[in-house]
Structure 1
Amino acid sequence: MSQELLAVTVAAVRHAGARMLTRYSTESRHPGLPEVLAHLRANDAAVVDTLRPALTKARPSAGWLNDEHGSGPLATGEWWLIDPVGGNVNAVHGMPDWNIGVSLVRDGRPVLAVVYFPVHDEMFTATEGGGAFLDGVRLRVSVKASLDGALAGTGQAQPGQDPDLVKRMGSAFEAMTNSALYVRVSVPVTHQLAQVAAGRMDLHWQFDNVRAHAAGVLLVQEAGGVVTDLDGTAWELTSESYLAAAPGVHAAALSVLTV
């Protein structure tokens, strides 16, 4: 993957982040769901309107998807997968944990990822075979070798989950709480995956894999982490679930999650 394309993508994402910061306020308060939904849609639109012209110009033959909850296979070729505002619900309520995530997927595998935390001005990047970086500094996952010292996390990819899936999520949280040092349940998922790549967290799991997670998955993989389905096979874009972890805790975490 060319450094020129990475640089163009970073510039576009940074521009989108600057636009979102003009919309973001720690004082943001909304009286109810209609107002929240309206601001969610407006934030997404502002970011897509900024990203799409630049990324389409950079890769005019690539398809475009900015459905952050989309899942399943893609047609062959290249696709831009956009999570316009990961953690948008946090941004709308004036909290700082939100990001802008972009990945380029080629024939079903991510080959480029850019995840930007505008509030903290942290730019995470990765290219297939080229490593993962935070503001230009190479990332490495943690060297933890035991769950008893591990920081773990999971999240809700979308509202309205199937009741059986919610029960499974609750059971997994209970099991991991009894094994790991700390378990975080939060969104956005890409925030947690970026923290795993940076070695700040040790593992993250999802029972509902969506395509927009591809950027975070590539960050973890290129930082030396292990990403598999919960049956232990290699992660794919079409996987229904996954575990992304430092190598030293992956097997133990997989055992906890598959009991």
Structure 2
Amino acid sequence: MEHMSELLVRVEAAVRETGARLTELHRPEPTRATDRPAAMRAFAELDAPAAELLRERLSALHPQAGWVAEELDTAVPTSGDWWLCDATDGAIQYLLGLPHWAVTATLLRDGEPLLAVVHAPQLGLTYTALCGTGAWLNGRPIAPSRRELAAAVVATSQPPTVPADPTAVHRAGSSLSAVLSGGVLAVRNLGPTSLQVAQVGSGHLDAFWEFGLDGANLLPGALIAAEAGAMVTDHTGAPWRPAESAGFLAAGPGTHAELARLLS
């Protein structure tokens, strides 16, 4: 485990370096692109060099690990060691000049996360976690909230759009109505999925849920939230399986059971 602790420190350094590069290029003005192809081209010009820098740094740290080529792909490798990374998680926010984006890096072994870093440079937030050891925000141990549902601020996100899943879209809409009528204080969407799930671990959010297969985006935050002590399950409260579960729920002890009831 000592070796993994040292690796986590070096992974964090690589992620911070990538975040600093992207911060230098970030502009507060929203993109001038008026259609999706133009926006994708503008983003690729910024993201591709950052992704290459992150891949170069992490591959040097653990050359035996493979590289998940596309973070939008919901498939998660189930055997061997793999780097699962997103140099600019929150592409839409980045292009719109908003600060709610992050750099993420997760090391998987046989489909399970060993370590994770979620770094939001413009928000001053750096989450780290090591399997079986704990989770930290800016170097300090974190724990989820224990607020009851009536005092809870929870978050959600739309289902992944690649590929589109009509069933997940329907569930997303009906679940929002169920949670709002169930008595929560507020529902929000605060940016990248991985960052919002990590914020459940630190108690900044009381819960996060989502429908659809989105393991690649959920895994970094899921490890952080779980290691912090939050309950990480599927939407019914059963074990969450990145490649199989149709829904996801991370919540503190005060809200998990009631939210699982509302979502299922």
Do these two structures clear the TM 0.5 threshold for a shared fold by scoring above it?
yes
Q: Give 1:211's aligned residue.
A: 216
Structure 2 unpaired stretches of 5+: none
Amino acid at match of 2:50: V
Q: Give 1:221's aligned residue.
A: 226
Structure 1 unpaired stretches of 5+: none
Find out whether 1:53 has 2:56 as its counterpart. yes
Shift of 1:235: 1.8
Q: Give 1:187's aligned residue.
A: 191
CA contact (8 A) 1:156 1:187 kept: no
Shift of 1:188: 1.1
CA contact (8 A) 1:141 1:224 kept: yes
| Coordinate RMSD, CA, aligned | 1.6
Q: Give 1:232's aligned residue.
A: 237
Shift of 1:186: 4.7
In structure 2, C-alpha distance between the alignment counterparts of 1:242 and 1:177, rounded to whole Å: 18
In structure 2, C-alpha distance between the alignment counterparts of 1:105 and 1:236, rounded to whole Å: 14
Q: Give 1:255's aligned residue.
A: 261
In structure 2, C-alpha distance between the alignment counterparts of 1:232 and 1:29, rounded to whole Å: 40
CA contact (8 A) 2:131 2:223 kept: yes
Shift of 1:75: 3.8
Q: Deviations over 1:60-109 (max 9, x none)?
A: 11110142222234141111001221111100110111001111111111
Q: Give 1:91's aligned residue.
A: 94
Q: Give 2:152's aligned residue.
A: 150
CA contact (8 A) 2:232 2:250 kept: yes
Find out whether 1:105 has 2:111 as its counterpart. no
Q: Give 1:27's aligned residue.
A: 29
Q: Give 2:123's aligned residue.
A: 120
Shift of 1:135: 1.0
Q: Percent identity?
A: 36
Find out whether 1:196 has 2:196 as its counterpart. no
Runs of at least 4 residues off by over 4 Å: none
Of stretches 29-38 and 78-87 in structure 1, the one that deviates more from structure 2 is 29-38
Aligned runs of 1:164-179 on 2, under 5 Å?
Answer: 164-179=167-182
Shift of 1:190: 1.2
**TM-score for both structures, normalised by structure 2:** 0.92
Shift of 1:165: 2.3
Aligned residues, how many?
Answer: 257
CA contact (8 A) 2:236 2:261 kept: no
Amino acid at match of 1:210: G
> Equivalent residue of 2:255, what SS?
helix
> Equivalent residue of 1:129, what SS?
coil
Amino acid at match of 1:153: A
Shift of 1:128: 0.3
**TM-score for both structures, normalised by structure 1:** 0.94
> Equivalent residue of 1:247, what SS?
coil
